[in-house]
A = this chain, B = another copy of it.
Amino acid sequence: MFHIDQRSSTPIYQQLIQGVKEALLRGGLRFGDKMPSVRELAGQLAINPNTIQKAYQELERQGVIESLRGRGTFVCQHIEAHADLARQAEVNEALRKALIEAHYLGLGAEQIMAMVKEHLHDLSIGGE
């Protein structure tokens, strides 16, 4: 269901969060869908249930999913991003860092722009 790279330096639970958000963007997951249970997903991905739990909690905290006692966990309406300045600066820094690294890989501005456009299209991110 989600692609997890055990070797990646980014924590598994963050990869999961990332994966859910991406699935939402690409349409694999829709508002109201039921998420697999913690145990089920842990089994499928061969990952420690604690790790799944941690990801779900974080996603709930971010308002992406919600868990209803006894019924399961569901994707909920995407709430408009609150203009959290700290978070904005953080994302901006991550972007800047990625661009620097891309340049150190030998890529020029045009190539980098092309990559960005491809990603945006791939993720179905359109105009405002």
Interface residues of A (CB under 8 A from B): 6-9, 11-12, 18, 21-22, 25, 61-62, 66, 68-69, 80-84, 87-88, 90-113, 115-117, 119-120, 123, 125-128
- Chain A interface SS verdict (over half): helix
| Nearest 9 CB-CB pairings of A with B | A108-B128, A81-B106, A95-B98, A94-B98, A91-B101, A81-B105, A108-B127, A103-B125, A98-B98
Which chain B residues lie closer than 8 Å to A82 at the CB level?
82, 84
Q: Among the listed B94, B103, B106, which residue makes an inter-chain contact with A94, where contact means beta carbons less than 8 Å apart?
A: B94
CA distance A110 to B123 in the complex (A): 14
- Min CB distance A117 to B, Å, is 8
Known: A96-B119, A100-B18. A68 touches B108 (CB 8 A): no
List of B residues within 8 angstroms of A127 by Cβ: 108-110
- Rounded to whole angstroms, the CA-CA distance of A18 and B101 in the bound complex is 9
Looking at the assembled complex, report how far the CB atom of A4 sits from the nearest CB atom of chain B, in whole angstroms: 12
Q: A21-B104, A109-B128, A113-B120 are in contact. List 17 more A-B contacts (CB 8 A).
A: A7-B68, A18-B97, A18-B100, A21-B100, A62-B104, A81-B104, A82-B84, A83-B106, A92-B115, A95-B98, A97-B98, A99-B119, A100-B123, A107-B128, A108-B128, A109-B120, A110-B128
